[in-house]
């Protein structure tokens, strides 16, 4: 909300500087986003009178002026041809600055010294709204009463500030100069006064003679008011008005239109002025549009409406989009003789919807969306009539058409005084409470420890005790709040859920082995799944789409974290980072059905990716480390994941359930993601893993008896998995503590298609020292198992 300081000052006495005012406003909850000085960048420019004009001796198009700037006479050469002796003009003296970025220095023009420059309106960045004649091509000619030597800024009305104030959505009443002024009064402890809204009427005509109003859609328009002005003389508005409109970003059009804009800004109430002669049969109807009905508002485009859009219509046609924009067929023009003003309350939800649907946003719709108040509607209409009279725009006719479905009155709110301390934690003295609320316009008494507040009509946001308590503390000051630490609250047990504890544990292992955590966007494009070579019926294609994405590549919620990890690994490779081991925890989104009718499953997923050092077996090691810490044992089987190398990849099986997979990235996928180096990746469903995780630990006695080791070298077919050999050896031999692989050999020494596997077996008993005999027996058993199951031969 842009508020002009001098405008605010009409309604409250501001006796502090701008910075102090801004600080005070921030203190009571109004953020001042920007302070703009209107005369910014105009320096050393004054009003001067041209005493004498001579021709330039060496240039036909130049003249030499002798200018009185009060304390001295300056000689200035100019090319302008609209000045004459006796004119008062803006003079940029030596060393002056102009808002267009120019700085003026003395110099010689064709041999004649010039000590400055005469300015045009354009050079001062002003328009006719700021000063009459500013739009003229040539030097700006000032009023002949302008004091000589006076700084130009006050002359042009630029010695003023615009405060751009952030208004929170609960305070639509502050979307106006008077709303801000009211708060300024509170901040400064001053009295606020309302604008003058008294006017006299000509009783020979009544507004009821001009129009007859019917509101058929009272659900969308709870308040509709009209008043009339006859014998209208359309003219320019006075300078003080156009200057104010310009300062807040509008511009002067004509007195009647300017009044509606002025009231909008000052009172926060959008107004509309109809040319009475355009209203067919003097009948105004506020109704829903018919489906397909068309209208051409001021922006001259044609809009097709539907039943949800509210229009102002006469007997035959729509003459305005209610609260959004007036119709071209009924606006104010130079020939307008009689005007009816509209001030209404339209439902904010409906205006918001219609404005969005039609794609029209106006100052009016913006204000209605935030919510206007029917109490202010009356005052605003009166203010518009008063301004008409003050500006001499015409004669105010008698009467007011008032169609309101609700009565507008102050409401009573009571609550226990103790509630203040209960919420704030500090006591605010009763007289302070009363005083603060009174300055806010809330009539307050405290009797029998009950606070009774009479809420002003314009404060729709004050509904409950906590709303009032907020008003008290924001004015009393948050610096009165003293920190306490839940001294009177219950003791509670803090902590994380089991899943979070498991995640923390996994992260501990992963960071411990040198992996860094990454976070990637949770959305991707369908192409990310394509790049994984996923088959068309893959569940990775069950994509939840965002209806308003920022782009195709971020339009779907990820069903897998693999593309995110691969992209980051590729980024690191392209940035010449030699190696990286990364991991990410995040949600993969799995819908129950598409399009989504219920919330999807959000599967906690872990990806681990690495390149530059290590291989498949390092990644396997990392996974093994992590699973061990989570109390899980796992098996591997060959994986069929399309994005993994078919021969260098495995599914991770825990208690017969697949919880994930890992391996080398398939060369085609690597190409798709622009991975230049051999890259390994794991993807683990952490929710599934968590179910198998086991944190319970029970002590096992430390072995008392020595272990005995035996080695065995076997030749088996190349396709026999070493893991299967180890697993089979362990079967049914309880004193076998550990089996370790210490060599695999393929080559000249063994037959083609075979390999030699050397295993080391460690035996130990809990209750005695094992004898050679016992061990030999077990070794035989193992050998025969391996011979029978794997056709293993002793080497």
User: Given the complex with other proteins, which of 310 and 510 has the nearer CB atom?
Assistant: 510
- Which residue, among 617, 663, 620, 621, has the nearest Cα to 642 in the 3D structure? 663
Among 147, 249, 646, 706, indicate the residue that binds other proteins (CB under 8 A): 646
CB neighbours of residue 694 within 10 Å: 9
Q: Is the peptide bond before 595 cis (omega within 30 degrees of 0)?
A: yes
Among 481, 676, 703, 794, indicate the residue that binds other proteins (CB under 8 A): 481
Q: Smallest distance, Å, CB 100 to other proteins?
A: 29
Q: In which element (H, E) is residue 311 found? A: strand 310-313
Residue 192 to residue 439: CA distance in whole angstroms = 9
User: Given the complex with other proteins, which of 523 and 763 has the nearer CB atom?
Assistant: 523
Residues numbered 482 to 511 that lie near other proteins (CB under 8 A) are 482-497, 500, 504, 507, 510-511
Hey, which residues does 340 pair with through a beta bridge? 228, 274
Among 62, 112, 522, 603, indicate the residue that binds other proteins (CB under 8 A): 522
Residues numbered 60 to 119 that lie near other proteins (CB under 8 A) are none
- Which residue, among 665, 444, 453, has the nearest Cα to 563 in the 3D structure? 665
Check binding of 676 to other proteins (CB under 8 A).
no
Among 131, 341, 458, 523, indicate the residue that binds other proteins (CB under 8 A): 523
Check binding of 602 to other proteins (CB under 8 A).
yes
User: Given the complex with other proteins, which of 392 and 549 has the nearer CB atom?
Assistant: 549
CB neighbours of residue 785 within 10 Å: 18
Residues numbered 418 to 447 that lie near other proteins (CB under 8 A) are 421-426
The vertex-721 CA angle with 582 and 633, nearest 5°, equals 50
Among 333, 409, 545, 704, indicate the residue that binds other proteins (CB under 8 A): 545
Q: Smallest distance, Å, CB 624 to other proteins?
A: 5
Check binding of 706 to other proteins (CB under 8 A).
no
Task: Tell me the HSE value of 634 on the side-chain side, using a 13 A CA sphere.
Answer: 30
Residue 16 to residue 22: CA distance in whole angstroms = 10
Check binding of 552 to other proteins (CB under 8 A).
no
Check binding of 474 to other proteins (CB under 8 A).
yes
Among 397, 650, 659, 681, indicate the residue that binds other proteins (CB under 8 A): 650
User: Given the complex with other proteins, which of 287 and 620 has the nearer CB atom?
Assistant: 620
Residues numbered 305 to 344 that lie near other proteins (CB under 8 A) are none
Token code pair at residue 387: 């301004």
Q: In which element (H, E) is residue 165 found? A: strand 161-166
User: Given the complex with other proteins, which of 81 and 484 has the nearer CB atom?
Assistant: 484
Among 109, 112, 408, 618, indicate the residue that binds other proteins (CB under 8 A): 618
Q: Segment near other proteins (CB under 8 A), from 3-11, 162-170, 684-692, 772-780?
A: 162-170
User: Given the complex with other proteins, which of 123 and 604 has the nearer CB atom?
Assistant: 604
Binding pattern to other proteins, positions 202-231, x when CB under 8 A? Answer: ------------------------------
Q: Smallest distance, Å, CB 543 to other proteins?
A: 11
Hey, which residues does 139 pair with through a beta bridge? 120
Residues numbered 28 to 67 that lie near other proteins (CB under 8 A) are 28-29
User: Given the complex with other proteins, which of 29 and 563 has the nearer CB atom?
Assistant: 29
Q: Segment near other proteins (CB under 8 A), from 176-184, 276-284, 388-396, 639-647?
A: 639-647
User: Given the complex with other proteins, which of 147 and 549 has the nearer CB atom?
Assistant: 549
Q: Smallest distance, Å, CB 422 to other proteins?
A: 6
Residues numbered 728 to 757 that lie near other proteins (CB under 8 A) are 740-741, 744
Contact call for residues 710 and 735 (beta carbons, < 8 A): no
The vertex-793 CA angle with 791 and 795, nearest 5°, equals 160
Contact call for residues 371 and 453 (beta carbons, < 8 A): no
How many residues are present in the chain? 795
Q: Smallest distance, Å, CB 549 to other proteins?
A: 7
Question: Residue holding tokens 């370790």?
Answer: 740
Hey, which residues does 73 pair with through a beta bridge? 68
Check binding of 773 to other proteins (CB under 8 A).
no
Q: Smallest distance, Å, CB 423 to other proteins?
A: 6
Q: Smallest distance, Å, CB 377 to other proteins?
A: 19
| 681: three-class secondary structure by DSSP | strand
Contact call for residues 307 and 288 (beta carbons, < 8 A): yes
- Which residue, among 283, 293, 290, 287, has the nearest Cα to 312 in the 3D structure? 287
Residue 761 to residue 141: CA distance in whole angstroms = 108
Binding pattern to other proteins, positions 340-379, x when CB under 8 A? Answer: --------xx--xx---------------xxx--------
Buried b (16+ CB within 10 A) or exposed e, 635-658: ebeebebebbbeebbbbbbbeeee
Among 199, 417, 625, 790, indicate the residue that binds other proteins (CB under 8 A): 625
Check binding of 658 to other proteins (CB under 8 A).
no
Check binding of 171 to other proteins (CB under 8 A).
yes
User: Given the complex with other proteins, which of 133 and 612 has the nearer CB atom?
Assistant: 612
Residue 308 to residue 113: CA distance in whole angstroms = 70
Q: Segment near other proteins (CB under 8 A), from 312-320, 621-629, 686-694, 762-770?
A: 621-629
Token code pair at residue 443: 């009539």
Alpha helices in 606-696 (DSSP H): 616-629, 667-672, 686-692
Check binding of 647 to other proteins (CB under 8 A).
yes
Residues 6+ apart with CB under 8 A from 308: 288, 350, 353, 354, 357
Kind of pairing between the strands at 544-545 and 443-447: unpaired
User: Given the complex with other proteins, which of 191 and 427 has the nearer CB atom?
Assistant: 427
CB neighbours of residue 96 within 10 Å: 21
Among 455, 518, 630, 715, indicate the residue that binds other proteins (CB under 8 A): 518
Residue 682 to residue 677: CA distance in whole angstroms = 16
Token code pair at residue 424: 């704030």
Check binding of 795 to other proteins (CB under 8 A).
no
Q: Smallest distance, Å, CB 315 to other proteins?
A: 32
Alpha helices in 316-373 (DSSP H): 348-358, 363-370
Check binding of 724 to other proteins (CB under 8 A).
yes
Q: Smallest distance, Å, CB 131 to other proteins?
A: 36
Q: Smallest distance, Å, CB 453 to other proteins?
A: 15
User: Given the complex with other proteins, which of 470 and 530 has the nearer CB atom?
Assistant: 470
Among 620, 670, 684, 792, indicate the residue that binds other proteins (CB under 8 A): 620
Q: Smallest distance, Å, CB 489 to other proteins?
A: 4
Residue 626 to residue 647: CA distance in whole angstroms = 24
Check binding of 138 to other proteins (CB under 8 A).
no
Contact call for residues 365 and 350 (beta carbons, < 8 A): no
User: Given the complex with other proteins, which of 172 and 252 has the nearer CB atom?
Assistant: 172
Q: Segment near other proteins (CB under 8 A), from 81-89, 95-103, 294-302, 470-478?
A: 470-478
Binding pattern to other proteins, positions 384-423, x when CB under 8 A? Answer: -------------------------------------xxx
Residue 342 to residue 339: CA distance in whole angstroms = 10
Cα-Cα end-to-end distance for the chain: 90
| 570: three-class secondary structure by DSSP | helix
Token code pair at residue 611: 């390149």
Check binding of 617 to other proteins (CB under 8 A).
yes
Total residues contacting other proteins by CB under 8 A comes to: 119
Token code pair at residue 126: 């002003």
| 181: three-class secondary structure by DSSP | helix
Q: Smallest distance, Å, CB 722 to other proteins?
A: 5
Residue 436 to residue 430: CA distance in whole angstroms = 10
């Amino acid at each position: 909300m842009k508020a002009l300081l001098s405008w605010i000052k009409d309604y409250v006495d501001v006796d502090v500087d701008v910075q102090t005012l801004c600080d005070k406003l921030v203190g009571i909850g109004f953020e001042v986003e920007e302070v703009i000085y209107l005369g910014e960048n105009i320096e050393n420019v004054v009003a001067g009178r041209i005493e004498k004009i001579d021709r330039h001796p060496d240039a036909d198009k130049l003249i030499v002026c002798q200018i009185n700037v009060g304390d001295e006479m300056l000689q200035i050469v100019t090319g302008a041809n609209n000045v004459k002796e006796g004119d008062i003009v803006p003079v940029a003296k030596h060393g002056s600055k102009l808002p267009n970025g120019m700085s003026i220095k003395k110099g010689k023009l064709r041999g004649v010294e010039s000590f400055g420059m005469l300015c045009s309106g354009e050079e001062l960045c002003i328009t006719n709204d700021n000063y009459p004649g500013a739009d003229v091509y040539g030097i700006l000619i000032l009023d002949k009463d302008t004091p000589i030597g006076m700084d130009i800024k006050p002359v042009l009305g630029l010695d003023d500030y615009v405060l751009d104030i952030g208004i929170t959505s609960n305070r639509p009443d502050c979307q106006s100069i008077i709303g801000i002024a009211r708060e300024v009064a509170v901040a400064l402890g001053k009295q606020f006064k309302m604008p003058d809204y008294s006017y006299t009427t000509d009783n020979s005509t009544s507004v009821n003679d001009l129009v007859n109003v019917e509101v058929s859609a009272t659900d969308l328009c709870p308040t509709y008011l009209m008043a009339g002005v006859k014998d209208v003389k359309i003219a320019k508005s006075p300078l003080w008005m156009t200057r104010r409109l310009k300062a807040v970003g509008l511009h002067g059009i004509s007195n009647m239109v300017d009044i509606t804009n002025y009231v909008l800004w000052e009172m926060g109430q959008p107004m509309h002025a109809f040319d009475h002669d355009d209203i067919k049969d003097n009948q105004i109807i506020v109704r829903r549009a018919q489906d397909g009905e068309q209208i051409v508002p001021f922006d001259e485009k044609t809009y097709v409406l539907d039943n949800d859009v509210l229009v102002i219509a006469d007997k035959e046609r729509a003459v305005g989009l209610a609260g959004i924009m007036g119709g071209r067929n009924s606006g104010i023009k130079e020939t307008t003789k009689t005007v009816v003003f509209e001030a209404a309350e339209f439902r904010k939800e409906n205006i918001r919807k219609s404005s969005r649907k039609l794609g029209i946003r106006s100052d009016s719709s913006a204000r209605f969306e935030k919510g206007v108040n029917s109490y202010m509607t009356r005052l605003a209409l009166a203010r518009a009539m008063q301004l008409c009279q003050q500006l001499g725009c015409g004669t105010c006719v008698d009467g007011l058409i008032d169609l309101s479905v609700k009565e507008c009155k102050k409401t009573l709110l009571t609550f226990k005084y103790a509630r203040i301390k209960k919420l704030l934690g500090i006591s605010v003295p009763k007289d302070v409470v009363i005083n603060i609320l009174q300055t806010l316009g809330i009539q307050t008494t405290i009797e029998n420890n009950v606070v009774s507040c009479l809420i002003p009509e314009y404060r729709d946001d004050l509904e409950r005790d906590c709303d009032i308590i907020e008003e008290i503390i924001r004015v009393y000051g948050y610096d009165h709040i003293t920190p306490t630490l839940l001294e009177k609250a219950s003791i509670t047990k803090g902590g994380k859920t089991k899943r979070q504890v498991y995640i923390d544990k996994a992260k501990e292992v992963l960071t411990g082995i040198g992996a860094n955590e990454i976070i990637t966007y949770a959305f991707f494009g369908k192409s990310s799944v394509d790049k994984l070579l996923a088959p068309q019926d893959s569940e990775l294609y069950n994509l939840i789409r965002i209806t308003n994405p920022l782009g195709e590549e971020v339009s779907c919620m990820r069903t897998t974290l693999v593309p995110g990890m691969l992209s980051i690994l590729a980024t690191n490779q392209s940035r010449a980072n030699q190696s990286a081991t990364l991991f990410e925890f995040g949600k993969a989104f799995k819908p129950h059905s598409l399009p989504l009718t219920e919330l999807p499953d959000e599967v906690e997923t872990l990806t681990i990716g690495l390149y530059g050092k290590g291989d498949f077996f390092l990644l396997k090691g990392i996974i093994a480390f992590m699973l061990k810490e989570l109390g899980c044992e796992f098996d591997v089987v060959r994986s069929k994941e399309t994005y993994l190398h078919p021969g260098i990849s495995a599914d991770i099986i825990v208690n017969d359930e697949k919880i994930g997979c890992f391996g080398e990235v398939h060369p085609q996928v690597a190409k798709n993601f622009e991975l230049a180096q051999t890259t390994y990746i794991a993807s683990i469903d952490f929710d599934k893993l968590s179910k198998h995780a086991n944190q319970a630990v029970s002590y096992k006695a430390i072995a008392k008896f020595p272990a005995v080791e035996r080695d065995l070298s076997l030749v088996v077919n190349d396709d026999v998995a070493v893991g299967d050999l180890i697993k089979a050896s362990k079967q049914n031999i309880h004193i076998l503590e550990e089996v370790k692989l210490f060599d695999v050999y393929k080559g000249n020494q063994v037959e083609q298609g075979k390999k030699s596997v050397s295993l080391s077996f460690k035996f130990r008993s809990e209750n005695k020292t094992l004898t050679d005999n016992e061990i030999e027996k077990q070794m035989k058993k193992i050998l025969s198992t391996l011979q029978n199951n794997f056709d293993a031969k002793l080497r």
